[in-house]
Amino acid sequence: MIIKKFQIKTGAETLALLGARDENIKLLEHELHVRIFANHDPESEGVTLTLKGSAARADKALNRIKDLLDEFHAGKIPPARTAAVRPDEDAETWTCDGAQPVYRSIFGETVYPRNETQRKYMEAISSGDLTVGIGPAGTGKTFLAAAAALNALKAGSVKRIVLTRPIVEAGEKLGFLPGDISEKVHPYLRPLYDAFYDLLGMERFRLLRDDEVIETVPLAYMRGRTLENAFLILDEAQNTTPEQMKMFLTRMGMRSKTVITGDITQIDLAEKDRSGLVLITGILKKVKGARIVNFANRDVVRHPLVKEIVDAYDEWEKGNQRA
């Protein structure tokens, strides 16, 4: 086995060669039976590729990468940008008119709101200290909140990011899961982790978490804290009780920003009408500075089937209620 290195200098080259989430590299590894490691430089947005394999295969992979780079500079591979949730349609249809960029990922991708509701959501987060995003799965609530948090961290307006969610699951309880608190909460916070992996890369996210710049904590462990200079994200808020929601909201310290996300059609509480997310719209309606953004099925930007699945379940639930 030999080792070869190749330097990619710019973010645009990085995205064109590696693809979203390093998909092109994964395909190359599978096709040529080599291992390729990408070390991203957040300052230059470039990447150092380390190729490992037999001499012939490593050379072939390196030549393929050089050919792709030549094609990119010749204009045969267009520069790319990404939306809040990766779409299937042409890049020119990815963004909403008048939408401002939210964050540029370590992979050179720029996150934009993709529809009017996402644009309003980002404006609410940018202009206020408390934003609540309510709507079905696939509307970009969590991903955009993560992008906004990283943008605030990069701009220096906050010093850390705190990620939390209520632990409401059937079966295993948190105390019976193996490992320390970070390892215990990992399965529950995985949707948030996925968003940060897409924006930061797995290794960079882990470094920031180890340094406690990004903190992950179950909602129950938030009691008694005051979080200043922080960007707080409460995900899956439909599974909070009113008491938990009040406790979380009162954790806000000076120069902090809070985003709450959830889907009231996926409540796992025994008493669904006592969901903190269901009640918050009425409780906060007269609170100045609190913004509530409601997403609809038409705002779903995942695979096209997701919207149809959500619509189908809505129809089924309405039919059962009439029966």
CATH of the domain at 190: 3.40.50.300
| Residue 121 within any structural domain of the chain | yes
Residue 38 and residue 184 in one domain: no
Residue 16 and residue 102 in one domain: no
Calpha distance 91→81 (Å, rounded): 7
Q: How far does the chain reach from its first CA to its final CA, in angstroms? A: 67
Calpha distance 148→142 (Å, rounded): 10
| Residue 134 within any structural domain of the chain | yes
What's the pLDDT score for residue 286?
86
Residue 57 and residue 104 in one domain: no
Q: pTM of the full predicted structure?
A: 0.67
Among the candidates 73, 104, 134, a domain finishes at 73
Residue 53 and residue 138 in one domain: no
What's the pLDDT score for residue 317?
77
Residue 55 and residue 191 in one domain: no
What's the pLDDT score for residue 125?
96
What's the pLDDT score for residue 137?
84
| Residue 194 within any structural domain of the chain | yes
| Residue 83 within any structural domain of the chain | no
For the domain that residue 59 is a member of, what is the CATH number? 3.30.1370.10
What's the pLDDT score for residue 167?
76
Total domains, the chain:
2
What's the pLDDT score for residue 322?
61
Q: Tokens 């310290």 correspond to what residue?
A: 253
Residue 133 and residue 166 in one domain: yes
Residue 106 and residue 69 in one domain: no
Residue 136 and residue 282 in one domain: yes
What's the pLDDT score for residue 80?
47
| Residue 316 within any structural domain of the chain | yes
Burial of residue 106 (number of CB atoms within 10 Å: 0-12, 13-18, 19+): buried
What's the pLDDT score for residue 182?
59
Give every residue of the chain whose pLDDT is below 50, as ranges. 80-83, 85-94, 170-172
Residue 109 and residue 51 in one domain: no
pLDDT digits (tens, 9 = 90+) for 47-74: 888 888 888 888 888 888 888 888 778 7
Q: Which residues of 18-44 are buried (b: 16+ CB within 10 A; e: fewer)?
A: bbebbebbeebbeebebebbbebeeee
Calpha distance 44→192 (Å, rounded): 26
Beta strands in the chain (DSSP E): 2-8, 35-40, 47-53, 82-83, 103-104, 110-112, 130-134, 160-165, 214-218, 230-234, 257-262, 290-294
Residue 100 and residue 52 in one domain: no
Residue 106 and residue 38 in one domain: no
| Residue 91 within any structural domain of the chain | no
Calpha distance 107→109 (Å, rounded): 6
Residue 119 and residue 193 in one domain: yes
What's the pLDDT score for residue 94?
45
| Residue 78 within any structural domain of the chain | no
pLDDT digits (tens, 9 = 90+) for 221-261: 888 888 999 999 999 999 999 999 999 999 999 999 999 99
Residue 39's DSSP bridge partners are 48
Can you give the residue range of the structural domain that contains 15? 2-73
Among the candidates 20, 39, 73, a domain finishes at 73
| Residue 251 within any structural domain of the chain | yes
